[in-house]
Amino acid sequence: MEQGRICPRGAGYYIWQQGDSLAGVAARNSTTAQAIRVINPDVDFDTLAAGSEICLPSQSYTCISGQPYTVRQGDTFSGIAEALNISVYELAERNPGVTPDSLMPGQILCVPAQAELPTSCPSGYTAGRIARGDTYAQLLIRHNVSYNAMRSANPGLQPGGLIAGEAYCAPPQGARQVCPEGGRFYTIERGETLLTVANVLGVTPGRLLRSNPSLLPSDFAQGTVICVPD
């Protein structure tokens, strides 16, 4: 094993193991392949022997420029680039040593600081990303929501042109509509009807129907998500 390696202040040490890869070590230590290369300029990672000591970058070294992005389940290299409105070439340039076809959940990539990361979803909604081969119908079936509800919640999501890696917010399961921003929703339980729900919420049936114009009185059944009047 190599002895006496001097690492930058704040950096850690790591002993290279049999079967290690640069991308794998970076992912397990919440850093990037680029950052590891930068603080180990004399190391050839293609021929590095097991037992060799290397430096592990601190958080400040994770991205030399820009900001870190954590890979999620289902992410693809091209999908991340598309979601961040940058080219695949630019993403690859910022992440030397990363194999685009072998991304792992938890792996850290570097993206431009000005890149717009997907925003969080409203309370009660589920954040998701388009997987390769997804269709709009599959999204509706997967989340059990209506076309109108999904379209209202994701106006930028094009039904005929879904892009792998694109972020979206799925309304609560059973939703046929999207409630006004900041409004409350209620999921009807077994045995409940329009009249009983109105009573529980302390409103009249008429007001409940006006707040849910896309629903028939008979739609107020188990599993349906309704908007609660203000």
State the CATH number of the domain containing residue 44. 3.10.350.10
Asked if pLDDT for residue 21 goes beyond 80, the answer is yes
Domain, as residue range, for 192: 184-228
Tokens describing residue 167: 């972020």
As a whole number of Å, the CA-based R_g of the chain is: 25
* Segment 95-122, tens digit of pLDDT: 876 888 888 877 778 887 654 445 577 7
Average pLDDT over residues 185-197: 92
Residue 81 and residue 157 in one domain: no
Average pLDDT over residues 172-191: 83
- Write 97-101 long-range contacts (CB < 8 A, 24+): 97/22, 97/23, 97/26, 97/33, 97/34, 97/36, 97/37, 97/45, 98/23, 98/32, 98/33, 98/34, 99/23, 101/77
Contact yes or no for 107/27 (Cβ under 8 A)? yes
Residue 149 and residue 195 in one domain: no
State the pLDDT at residue 194.
93
Residue 16 and residue 105 in one domain: yes
Residue 4 lies in a domain: no
Residue 105 and residue 132 in one domain: no
Asked if pLDDT for residue 66 goes beyond 90, the answer is no
